[in-house]
Amino acid sequence: MTGATDLMLWQYQFRIIMLGDSTVGKSSLLKRYTEDQFLENINQTVGVDFYVHFVEVEPGIRIKLQFWDTAGQERFRSVTRSYYRNSVGGLLVFDLGNRASFQHVHEWYTEVLEKVQPHTVLFVLVGNKSDMETEERRQVSREEAEDLAAQMGVPYVEASAKSSLGVTEAFELLTRCIFQALRSGQVQIRHGWDGIKCSSPQAKEVHLSDNKMAAAQVKNCSC
């Protein structure tokens, strides 16, 4: 893709990071969302992988989503950490059938917020593998997950990379929250920061002229 074509294709670029313990399904969620595929034997992520997807948040406003798919394994943590600062959004993922992965969510959350201070990252909490749900298998109730999400002030979505249920919803909810936060001024394009990029002066004008309207909308968004 040439630079010129790229400019015509999107107005904003958002960098989004996937976080959560190993095997919770971060790469599988991304594969489902960007390629509509699911692999039973997907490779564990080594370091960080990179995915791209385009969405139109509203008519004429095209967003390039750039995803950093991090490895959940502890031994890659120093690599993973270096991606926090340039992310505007994050999907915090746990496995509904793995209680430890749920218990670690808050650690992921606080670690990121500490590292990006004084700025912030907008999150959506995702309980993945809802297709495997049976009374015996489920180790985290919807109520517990919703309580944790409320405590962190983020939305919660249950999803399955396998069945695709909730996957688009989770990614697009995060995208809309970031877009509204941008328009309201809650997050801003900053020099030397790659969390959000703007492809053209026109796009910047859209953002500025819509500030007031979006400020009203953002009140209705739980991000």
> Interface with ligand GTP by CB under 6 A: which residues?
22-28, 39-40, 42, 44-45, 71-73, 128-129, 131-132, 160-162
**Alpha-carbon distances, residue 199 vs 34, 43, 79, 196 (angstroms):** 22, 34, 28, 10
Total binding residues toward Mg ion, as defined by CB under 5 A: 3
Site for Mg ion in 32-71 (CB under 5 A): 45
Alpha helices, DSSP H, located in the chain: 3-9, 26-35, 77-81, 99-103, 105-116, 142-152, 167-184, 201-209, 211-218
Other beta carbons within 10 angstroms of residue 127's beta carbon come to: 31
How far, in Å, CA of 40 to CA of 222, rounded?
33
Interface pick for Mg ion out of 11, 27, 87, 130 (rule CB under 5 A)? 27
DSSP designation for 131: G
Residue 34 binds which entry of ligand GTP, Mg ion, none, with Cβ cut-offs from 5 to 8 Å by kind? none
Q: Which residue has the tokens 């399904």?
A: 25
Give least dist CB 136 to ligand GTP, A: 15
Candidate ranges 2-10, 21-29, 119-127, 183-191; the one touching Mg ion (CB under 5 A): 21-29
How far, in Å, CA of 210 to CA of 131, rounded?
40
Residue 86 binds which entry of ligand GTP, Mg ion, none, with Cβ cut-offs from 5 to 8 Å by kind? none
Residue 131 binds which entry of Mg ion, ligand GTP, none, with Cβ cut-offs from 5 to 8 Å by kind? ligand GTP
Give least dist CB 204 to ligand GTP, A: 35
Give least dist CB 141 to ligand GTP, A: 18
The answer to whether the beta carbons of residues 125 and 136 sit under 8 Å apart is: no
Give least dist CB 125 to ligand GTP, A: 15
Does 160 help bind Mg ion (rule: CB under 5 A)? Answer: no
Q: Which residue has the tokens 């749900």?
A: 133
For binding to Mg ion (CB under 5 A), which residues are involved?
26-27, 45
